[in-house]
Structures are given as C-alpha cells and as structure tokens.
C-alpha cells in the first residue's frame, strides 16, 4: 500500500512536469498549428538561468522571475527570427525549424552557461513529508501546484476570454482572424511568450528535484510531446491528463517492473491509445464540411 502510494507520488510529480511542457505545446499549437520542439529548451533555460542569476547574487524568487521573463523573450525572438520569416511554409517545415532552433539554443546554452550539472535550494526545504508510510518532497507539491495553476489559468483564458478565443481563431483561420480585426502577429508573439514562460516556470520548479544542465531539454520535449498527443493536441485538459498519465505510467513501470522499461512501457501505452483514438483522449474531432 505504502509502496503504491510512493509510486503514485513520484508519478504525479514527474507527470506534472510533463503536463507543464505539454501545456506549452498546446498554446503554440493552438495559435499556429506548429508543434514547437524547442519547448524543452525553454524548460532548460528556466532552470539554468535561475541557477546563474542566483549564483550572481539575486535572491531566488527574483532570479526565477528574471529567468521566466528572459525565457519568454527568447520565445518571442524564436517567433520573430525563425517562425515569422517562414510564414506560409508548410507546417512540417516550421516544425523542422523548431527542431533546428532547439539544437541552436542547446548549443548556445553550452557556451553561455556551462556543461556542468546544477541545482539550487528547494523552496520549502528538503525534509520529506510523510503520508501513510510514503514520502513526498515539499518541492513536489510546488511542481504539482504549478501545473494545476497554469492549467486552470489557461483553461479560463481559452474558454472565457475574448483574447483566448482570438488565439483559437487565429490558428483556425488566419485570414478571417485578420478580417475581424485580430492582430495575428500579436497573437503569435503572445503565444510564444506565454509558452516559453510556462516552460521556464516548469524548469524553475523542477530543478531542485531533478537537477539541470544544458541538455535536459530534449527528453522533456519528447515526453511533453507524447503527453500532449496522448491527451489530444491543442486541448489544455488533454495536456494535463496526458502529462499525469504518462508520469504515472512511468512511475508504475519503474516501480513494479524495472526502471529500464519505464520509457518503453509508456510509449507502448501511448501507441495503443493513439491506435484506438487517433485524436487522443480529449482531442476534438475535426468537423469541416465543404
């Protein structure tokens, strides 16, 4: 019992990180139909920039804030310098551009920061909390709370605000969006800033648990992408559910089978789900009629 609970805790913690990455995917996908494979690098930048800002003397909360804002700026630059000039190119080309951007950001991080593994102190200490024989780190609670908060905020944004609907409208039909007075360039800028900021937040929250280095982004991007696909690309609910599910799958496999198989088991389940439900668990069926 306590064993299961322990796996549950670690699964939800990891899952919350995947969910945050998947939520980042969701925003850019909703605005532009592009799957941004540089999403993992935003997580890395959030963690690394916080480490170095903290080391330079900034108090931790300030360092984290600076890292999030800085990463959001990198997101905006990515849109301006790489995505926007390729406007009109097929979505596949744009996705390849984001893969190139992720390689570039990783390389630049290696030069600007270093190749060491870093961390900074957990926000609320390192004493594990005991619950029914299992333990959870206070930092895990921060990660879970972060994922839930971001999810609620995004869900409200997309379903309750006009600007959120404008983002959806821009991805659905850019021409029509302009005709109703939506500044589609601004929508794109906003989406990349938000998405990068959320990625950086994930990096800040998780670094005290998993540590960080210049190359943590790639795996996170793949896992976050898998989570987003599992839940249904473009749907915040799907991103959250997909992330948590993927985290739990990994934790259970690692706990009951072997940690060697945890990635394989997770991907087998994802494949099975996508065979049966190609739109993902919460995906919207396309309803075009001509």
Partner 1 sequence: MLTVEGLRSRYGRIEVLHGIDLHVDSGEIVTVVGANGAGKTTLLRCLSGVQPVTGGSITFRGEALTPVPAYKRLKRGLAQSPEGRQIFTNLTVEENLRLGAFLFSDDRVEKDMEDAFQMFPILKEKRNLAAGGLSGGQQQMLAMARALMGRPSCLLLDEPSMGLAPIVVQQIFDVVKGLKALNVTVLLVEQNAFGALKIADRGYVMETGHITMSGTAAELIADPRIREAYLGI
The secondary structure element, H or E, covering residue 130 is strand 129-131
Q: Does 175 bind partner 1 (CB under 8 A)?
A: yes
Closer CB to partner 1, 130 or 284, in the complex: 284
The three-class DSSP label of residue 135 is strand
Q: Does 165 bind partner 1 (CB under 8 A)?
A: yes
Q: Which of 56, 57, 181, 275 binds partner 1 (CB under 8 A)?
A: 181
Q: Does 132 bind partner 1 (CB under 8 A)?
A: no
Number of residues that bind partner 1 (CB under 8 A): 23
Rounded to the nearest whole angstrom, what is the least distance from the CB of residue 151 to partner 1 in the complex? 20
Give the integer Cα–Cα distance in Å for 134 and 14.
16
Q: Does 246 bind partner 1 (CB under 8 A)?
A: no
Q: Which of 87, 115, 130, 284 binds partner 1 (CB under 8 A)?
A: 284
| Joined tokens for residue 281 | 């668990």
Closer CB to partner 1, 33 or 114, in the complex: 33
Give the integer Cα–Cα distance in Å for 163 and 174.
14
Nearby residues of 36 by Cβ (< 8 Å), 6 or more positions away? 24, 25, 28, 29, 78, 95, 98, 192, 195
Rounded to the nearest whole angstrom, what is the least distance from the CB of residue 232 to partner 1 in the complex? 13
As a 3-state breakdown, the chain gives helix, strand, coil percent values, each rounded to 5, of 75, 5, 20
Q: Does 166 bind partner 1 (CB under 8 A)?
A: yes
Footprint on this chain of partner 1 (rule: CB under 8 A): 162, 165-166, 168-169, 172-173, 175-184, 284, 286-290
């Amino acid at each position: 019992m306590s064993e299961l609970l322990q796996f549950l805790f670690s699964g939800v913690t990891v899952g919350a990180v995947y969910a945050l990455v998947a939520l980042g995917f969701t925003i850019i996908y909703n605005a532009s139909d592009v799957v941004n494979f540089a999403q993992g690098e935003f997580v890395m930048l959030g963690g690394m920039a916080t480490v170095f800002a903290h080391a330079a003397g900034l108090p931790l909360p300030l360092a984290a804030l600076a890292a999030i804002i800085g990463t959001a700026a990198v997101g905006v630059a990515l849109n301006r310098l790489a995505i926007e000039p390729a406007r009109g190119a097929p979505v596949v080309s744009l996705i390849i551009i984001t893969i190139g951007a992720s390689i570039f950001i990783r390389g630049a991080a290696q030069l600007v920061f270093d190749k060491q593994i870093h961390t900074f102190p957990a926000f609320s200490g390192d004493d594990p909390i005991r619950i029914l024989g299992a333990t959870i780190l206070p930092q895990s609670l921060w990660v879970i709370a972060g994922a839930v908060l971001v999810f609620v905020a995004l869900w409200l944004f997309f379903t309750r605000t006009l600007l959120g609907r404008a983002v959806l409208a821009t991805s659905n039909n850019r021409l029509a969006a302009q005709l109703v007075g939506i500044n589609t360039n601004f929508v794109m800028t906003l989406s990349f800033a938000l998405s990068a900021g959320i990625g950086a937040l994930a990096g800040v929250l998780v670094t005290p648990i998993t540590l960080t280095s210049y190359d943590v982004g790639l795996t996170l991007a793949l896992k976050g992408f898998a989570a987003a696909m599992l839940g249904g690309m473009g749907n915040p609910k799907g991103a959250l559910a997909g992330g948590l599910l993927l985290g739990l799958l990994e934790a259970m496999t690692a706990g009951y089978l072997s940690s060697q198989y945890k990635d394989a088991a997770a991907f087998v389940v994802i494949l099975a789900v996508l065979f049966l439900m190609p739109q993902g668990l919460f995906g919207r069926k396309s309803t075009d009629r001509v």
